[in-house]
Amino acid sequence: MEPNDSRRVWLTGAGKGIGRALAIAMVEAGWTVAASARTADDLDSLAAEAETKPGHVVGYPVDVTRAAEVSETVERIEADLGPLDLVVLNAGTHQPFKAADFDIETFRRLVETNLMGTVNCLAPVMARFIERGRGHIAVVASVAGYAGLPTAAGYSATKAALINMCEALEPDLARHGVKLQLVSPGFVDTPLTRKNEFKMPFLIPADQAANDIMAGLQSRRFEIVFPFGMKVAMKALRALPYRLFFAITRRMVGS
């Protein structure tokens, strides 16, 4: 990443985990980061952490499940900082549950945050970028969207929806001069993944994930997926016939 690059970026889910690590990597590259999260205290501490770095962070608290609030926030960011160059839609949540604990409201919260929260952000951003004939959008999904995994029925469903949505949008956005990328992390050590009660293979720290995303944003690849071992394992699992697929996932339930 070139230092002192004056990009203006809107990053959601910036308060913790991958989003926070990515915000720090961006300001180290000299970028101006409009950082959004629900919790203002997280954004204040992020801005304080970034004070000594070449770029800077400006906090914009927002609840991505509220479409009108999101639209107003995008308008305010561009009024304050100027037209955005890059938007990284990273806000999301995770709540593992087993079939016996299947709950409508829990599932709804996952859909409203992970899927509709991203949609709420995409709508005002795409409208601006299409009108300008330029722009760069990255949507954070997950390798969990490749296949339905035990205890992740809600999370996997929302991430699979994001993957399909981005695949559908990419050709049309490219026609308008807008670059769309999909970010599919494997297991990253964050407060969300610490909810998992199983050993997570190929687990990486958040700062490594941030570095992988930063490198991927400079590439022409549609999908930024990491770590490599998790990518191979999940794509191989998805390619299996269901008889073998369920033989593996049933063992996960047993463990």
CA distance 205 to 189: 5
The two tokens of residue 223 are 């999908």
What are the angstrom distances between the C-alpha of 225 and each of 30, 75, 90, 126? 24, 31, 14, 23
DSSP string computed for 132-164: HT--EEEEE--GGGSS--TT-HHHHHHHHHHHH
Residues contacting residue 250 through CB under 8 Å, at least 6 positions apart? none
What are the angstrom distances between the C-alpha of 152 and each of 97, 101, 107, 130, 168? 7, 12, 10, 35, 24
What are the angstrom distances between the C-alpha of 40 and each of 3, 16, 35, 62, 253? 28, 12, 10, 9, 38
Just list the catalytic residues. Answer: 155
Residue carrying the six token digits 């919790």: 39
Backbone angles phi, psi at 91, to 5 degrees: -60, 135
117 in the Ramachandran plot: left (φ > 0), alpha (ψ -120 to 50) or beta?
A: alpha
